[in-house]
Chains A and B, each alone.
Chain A
Amino acid sequence: MQIYLPIAEISLNIFLILGMGGLVGFLSGMFGVGGGFLMTPLLMFAGVPPAVAVATGANQITAASVSGMQAHWRRGGVDLKMGIVLTLGGLIGSYAGALLFSLLKGIGQIDLLIAISYVIFLTSIGLMMLIESVRVVWQRHHGIKQLPRRRPRTWIDALPLKMRFRKSRQYLSVFLPLILGAFVGVLVAIMGVGGGFILVPAMIYLLNMPANVVVGTSLFQMTLVTASVTFFHALNSYTVDVVLALLLLIGAVIGAQFGARVGYKLKGEQLRGLLGLIVLGVGVRMALDLFVTPRDIFSLIVM
């Protein structure tokens, strides 16, 4: 059953759209990532113009994130204070990212920047998560107990304007989550992703937040930042396809519920290992596109 998408201006099989949404939603619910790193390439592969894929992807991540966030909220898994600070950073970052995007577009190398950002971030983070989870499993297998340690005191603790985040059991400078949020916001604007794949590990390893509030809080931040990015794209490039987004999110919210359930059954290191593998896979796939001789070295963009 085909459906014509008014903004993307192509017709796609409705079950293909629901399936893509479901797959991405499943990952979103399971790992607390928006799944944009998968959604944007999937949409482009299905024939959706890149600009529409990025903007509509952001709109869909908003829905998937709010649905997942709500489930975590009920379990007390959202640190509201931390989430608001991260969001403020995210809004500043996404605005700066949009400016950077236009600047690089003018120079003409925006595509390369996007591709290289994808490859660098996805492969390095995927690899890190994979290695870390294998290490934890190995240590448990050999009976090596790792004592819970305090994060060693570094220059980070010397930053001013400290704030107490009760739920995250942190007392740290407000600049740290603000800068982290802003950095993720830049990526949201440039790569058309939710940024969860950066935010989640950063919250675990950099902010040392307890695992039970990491996913919910990152979903909170992503909901608001992708909402603002959607609005920004609708305003500037008219590339948000609500019909496509609605269909994707029907698939995604269903997938997210299943994903969340599977996610709660798995151990933290298993989750991270699995997510690491998927992230690494997409990164390697995109790296291949950079290195393998293309079938046609010419490509067209109808404007």
Chain B
Amino acid sequence: MRATVGIIIWLLLWTYRPAAAAALIADISSHEIQITSSFTGTSLLLFGAIDWAKDSNGQRLDARDHDIIVVVRGPATTIQVRKKSSIGGIWVNRHSAVASEVPGFYAVASTRPIHAILLPEEVAAYGLGLENIEPVWSDPPPTAESGAFRRAIDRGMSETLLFAERPDAVTVLGETLFRTEIYFPATVPVGTYSAEIYLARNGVVVAHQTTPLSVTKIGLERAIYDFANTRPATYGLIAVVLALCAGLVAGAISRRLSS
């Protein structure tokens, strides 16, 4: 009995081995998103090629068996989730919970729905898809409602396009080239991102590659942001003086125009 199981496992491993030889080469159209004053969100093109190896019989692997999954993860952030309840007819934020270690951006694109591509264990092992984002509750919700609070994060983040799951967004051209576009909305958080590309076959990941990506503020936007955060007293004074001057100047201009 034991021997039979052993043989089966050995056979399974043997059949998978050639697939692991297929390599992946991928890149992004830009490794840095620069937030300037005209930034309204942007799309990056993520593209690559599958380097087909031949299997043990010298047969070229069939591209139709393969799927591509692309995941772009943003820097971890902390999110407060609040739930309203009606008390005496007034809707009040009654319960709240704080989740940390939630990616500030999470986009997953694939050739088919992830569960149709991978075995559930693989999906969980690689943390793919919105349901595999595991927030760490630093202020946990009521236990009976943890599911609802968890789903609220997905819903809220998806509404602002910071979370996206697009199961048909990766297109394969010919049998080797693939491409997808990842959209970053204007509210995209700054920080270091990672783009992960997975090649899957027969329900398991056979190759993957990770490439870095960063979102930074540049120019005047960067200067103002840094100034406000590093020298708040000076910044505050300037904001006040600027408001007073602008108000007085505008008043003077309009008086001259009217006289």
Contact = CB atoms under 8 A, between A and B. Distances in A.
Contacts of B228: 6-7, 234, 238, 240, 242
Among A71, A231, A289, chain B packs the most CB atoms within 10 A around the CB of A231
A47 to B, nearest CB: 8
Interface string B232-259: 1101111110111011101110110010
Interface in A76-91: none
A20 to B, nearest CB: 16
Among B81, B104, B189, B228, chain A packs the most CB atoms within 10 A around the CB of B228
B234 to A, nearest CB: 9
B91 interface: yes
Contacts of B83: 297-298
B186 A59 contact: no
Given A296-B155, A298-B156, A65 B247 contact: yes
B96 interface: yes
A249 B232 CA distance: 21
Nearest to B157: A300
A238 B232 contact: yes
29 contacts: A2-B186, A3-B38, A4-B39, A6-B220, A6-B222, A7-B225, A10-B187, A64-B247, A65-B247, A67-B251, A71-B251, A109-B93, A223-B244, A230-B239, A231-B239, A233-B236, A240-B236, A240-B239, A242-B224, A242-B228, A246-B242, A253-B254, A261-B258, A291-B91, A293-B86, A294-B84, A297-B83, A299-B156, A300-B157
Main secondary structure of the interface of A (DSSP, over half): helix
Contact of B246 (A7, A238, A246): A246
Interface in A229-260: 230-236, 238, 240, 242-243, 245-246, 249-250, 253-254, 257
A7 B38 CA distance: 14
B81 A62 contact: no
Contacts of B237: 231
A111 interface: yes
B214 interface: no
Given A11-B40, A235-B233, A257-B251, A302 B79 contact: yes
Range for the number of chain B residues in contact with chain A? 35 or more
A270 interface: no
Interface residues of A, number: 58
A303 B77 contact: yes
B92 A230 contact: no
A227 interface: yes
B89 interface: yes
A298 B250 contact: no
A67 B238 contact: no
Contacts of B247: 62-67, 70, 223, 249, 253
Contact of B243 (A10, A60, A233): A60
Interface string B70-111: 000000011111111110011111001010000010000000
Given A11-B40, A63-B246, A298-B83, A6 B217 contact: yes
B59 interface: no
Given A64-B247, A236-B232, A303-B77, 14 more contacts: A9-B189, A11-B41, A59-B240, A71-B255, A111-B93, A230-B239, A234-B236, A243-B37, A246-B246, A254-B254, A293-B91, A297-B83, A298-B155, A299-B93
A62 B84 contact: no
B229 A238 contact: yes
Given A11-B39, A63-B246, A301 B79 contact: yes
B215 to A, nearest CB: 11
A108 interface: yes
Given A253-B254, A303-B79, A4 B152 contact: no
A291 B41 CA distance: 35
B21 interface: no
B35 interface: yes
